[in-house]
Amino acid sequence: MVRVAVLRSAVLSGARRRQLASCWRQHKRHQNTAAELTSTKPDRILASPFLAHTQISELNFTDFLWQDIGQWLSKPAVTCGLSGRSYTYGETRALCRRFANALLGAVGLRQGDVLGLLLPNIPEYAIAMHGAIEAGIVVTFANPLYTPDEIRRQFINSGVQASVTVPQLLPVMTQVGPTLPDYKRTIVVGDEGPPPADGTVLSLRQLLIESLPADIPKASPGDLAILPYSSGTTGLPKAVKLSHRNLVVNMQQVGHPDMKVYGPASEETQKVALSVLPFFHIYGFNGILNPIMQHGMHMVSMPKFTPEDYISCVVKYKPAILFVVPSLLLFLASHPAVTKEHLSSIENVICGAAPATKNLIDKFKAKLDRDVNIRQGYGMTESGPVLMFAPRDVPLSKMGSCGQLVPYTQAKVVDLTTGQSLGPHQSGELWVQGPQVMLGYLNNEEATQETIDSDGWLHTGDVAYYDEDEYFYIVDRTKELIKVKGNQVSPTELESIVLQIPGIVDVAVVGIPDALAGELPRAFVVRHPDSQNLTEAEVQQYVEPKVASYKKLAGGVKFIDVIPRNAAGKVLRHQLKVLGEKSPIQ
């Protein structure tokens, strides 16, 4: 069976090669001919086992998202699970168009300008995001927990000229906005009080009421749509350029009949999906919000997580689908306040951002005391995000796998030492190709070339293997990125802050295992001989106000004599991880 699977993966049929080549030619990073694809492929390249059921759409993101909206205009589209504030599909569509008009009119933006979103998960997120994209405005979105310095760094890098936020975060944008080149307006959602007389702060409500028709440009599939941020494999966060086509094709890929979780709403039925996962993360935006709206389902979201509020939303809205990360799945499986009666409406659970073990899945199913469809996927910001997803009828023996390649996607597992592609059950770095792969990093060609090689392979930085049935398993990461409850933490960013502390001569930050968070950042610090009195608490207190809460050095600080490095000066983080496991913080 192994030999058959490898041969089937290594030698693609002529029809499959032509199909893949035809799809990739639509994408800027995949302009190769079918002959070139054949001649450059080494052995053991895997293609998706799911044949495309439709051609890649040539609609832009806006037209694709709303193409079937006439079937569910009166049904709820997005609802805040805490406040109950809600918009129907008809209202959402109309408000998106009004916001597009306002951005090109009263706000003074033009096609290709950049709008920054600094918002929690609220219904107006969809209006701001989709209205801006419809207007031809590029959108970048920041974590509302970021400090002003973190927001400023992202907004300057991406060229933000206007932003949308909530009253609670208006003081932050009042501080950041004037420091941004060519910054025009801050738009506030909610009761923000009288706006300043200088017109720098505008009310979203007033903009929507007073919106006048504008000449809205027609975006092309290859046009830039959004700029989410990712640390990639190394370094500081970088702006990922995702086009309309990247977003559309990824929705099509996960919408394959053998993979999709949900069918479209009908006059009689409408499934409810509940998620607390942030829309400012690519998983929350194009892995959850957009596919849910495309199919006319009811998206219930929460701006923040508390156990009481989450349980209350499950009971009140009776969701059929839950979107979770492993830490949330562990909460549902372990918390005594969550009963099987609370979860009686659940039909599907989708887990992403980090691997969930088979033991965790089994524990959750034991809580329900019934079978429920639990599936995992794998992706990254640079791929819009989904690369793999478990099929609808995933065998029980594959629990713990992140699934199979989505349509139009190829992959290989590469030996970390020899660079040769590997066969089943052999671990190496995962490389992928497909039309969902990003256009590149904004204004950072060097990082782009480090991530996507000259043959078009995206080097994920994750260590993986696949079995004889071509199910993939993520087992480790070659990249330095730390994941805290699914959030990306850049060691480089934390190291640069710690090095600002007087008396510290060297530092390296790594992730250490944590049962709840997955990983926690720990700093290994070398003190100057004259600063031996510097304490762990002082280092943590210096870092805390400068970063979002999940970036804090919750894994502790350990003082050592020297940071281990190789001959090129690169930190040997694996040695520090081993040291961290041997000496846990008490």
User: For 135-202, where are the alpha helices, taking DSSP H only?
Assistant: 148-158, 170-176
Minimum mean pLDDT among 35-49, 115-129, 172-186, 188-202: which range? 35-49
pLDDT, one tens digit per residue, over 466-481 is 999 999 998 877 767 7
Rounded CA separation 539/509 (Å): 13
Neighbour tally for 101: CB within 10 Å: 23
Of the candidates 392, 470, 357, the one whose C-alpha atom is nearest the C-alpha of residue 48 is 470
**C-alpha neighbours within 13 Å on the C-beta side of residue 458:** 27
Rounded CA separation 467/142 (Å): 38
159 and 190, same domain (yes or no): yes
159 and 201, same domain (yes or no): yes
Please give the average per-residue pLDDT across 423-436, as a whole number: 95
Angle (nearest 5°) at CA 11 between 8 and 17 = 110
In a domain, 369, yes or no: yes
User: For 225-348, where are the alpha helices, taking DSSP H only?
Assistant: 244-254, 282-284, 290-294, 307-317, 326-334
How many domains would you assign to the chain?
A: 3
Rounded CA separation 464/382 (Å): 17
Q: How far is CA 422 from CA 6, 419, 479, in A?
A: 10, 9, 20
Q: Is the pLDDT of residue 4 over 80?
A: no
In a domain, 7, yes or no: no
358 and 390, same domain (yes or no): yes
User: For 372-500, where are the alpha helices, taking DSSP H only?
Assistant: 445-451, 491-498
Rounded CA separation 291/464 (Å): 27
Confidence band, pLDDT 50/70/90 cuts, at residue 298: very high
358 and 241, same domain (yes or no): yes
Q: Is the pLDDT of residue 20 over 70?
A: no
293 and 316, same domain (yes or no): yes
List, as one string, the DSSP characters of 29-72: T----HHHHHHH--S--EE-SS--SSPPP-S-HHHHHHTTGGGS
The bridge status of strand 321-324 relative to strand 348-351 is parallel
What is the rounded average pLDDT for all residues in the chain? 87
DSSP type of residue 502? T
CATH number at residue 192: 3.40.50.980
Which of 210, 232, 254 is where one domain is finished?
210
409 and 510, same domain (yes or no): no
In a domain, 182, yes or no: yes
In a domain, 441, yes or no: yes
Which residues are 474's β-sheet partners?
A: 464
240 and 330, same domain (yes or no): yes
Which of 210, 233, 254 is where one domain is finished?
210
Q: Are the C-beta atoms of residues 460 and 405 closer than 8 Å to each other?
A: no
Q: Is the pLDDT of residue 394 over 90?
A: no
pLDDT for res 285: 96
CATH number at residue 535: 3.30.300.30
In a domain, 46, yes or no: no
Which of 435, 454, 477 is where one domain is finished?
477
For 206, the enclosing helix (H) or strand (E) is helix 204-210
In a domain, 204, yes or no: yes
Residues 6 or more apart from 182 whose CB is under 8 A from it? Answer: 159, 161
429 and 564, same domain (yes or no): no
Alpha carbon of residue 425 to chain centroid: 28
563 and 469, same domain (yes or no): no
In a domain, 255, yes or no: yes
Look up residue 269 and give its two tokens.
């039925």
Minimum mean pLDDT among 51-55, 337-341, 437-441, 446-450: which range? 51-55
Rounded CA separation 285/291 (Å): 9
CATH number at residue 465: 3.40.50.12780
**Helices 536-543/491-498 angle, 10° precision:** 110
pLDDT, one tens digit per residue, over 198-242 is 778 999 999 999 999 999 999 999 999 999 998 665 667 899 999
pLDDT for res 492: 80
Rounded CA separation 402/380 (Å): 13
Range of the domain at 422: 224-477
161 and 246, same domain (yes or no): no
pLDDT for res 41: 44
In a domain, 314, yes or no: yes
Minimum mean pLDDT among 173-187, 243-257, 264-278, 348-362: which range? 348-362
Most confident of 44-58, 242-256, 333-347, 507-521: 242-256
Q: 123: buried, middle or exposed (CB in 10 Å: 19+, 13-18, 0-12)?
A: buried
391 and 269, same domain (yes or no): yes
The one-letter code for the residue type at 348 is: N
501 and 438, same domain (yes or no): no
Rounded CA separation 538/534 (Å): 7
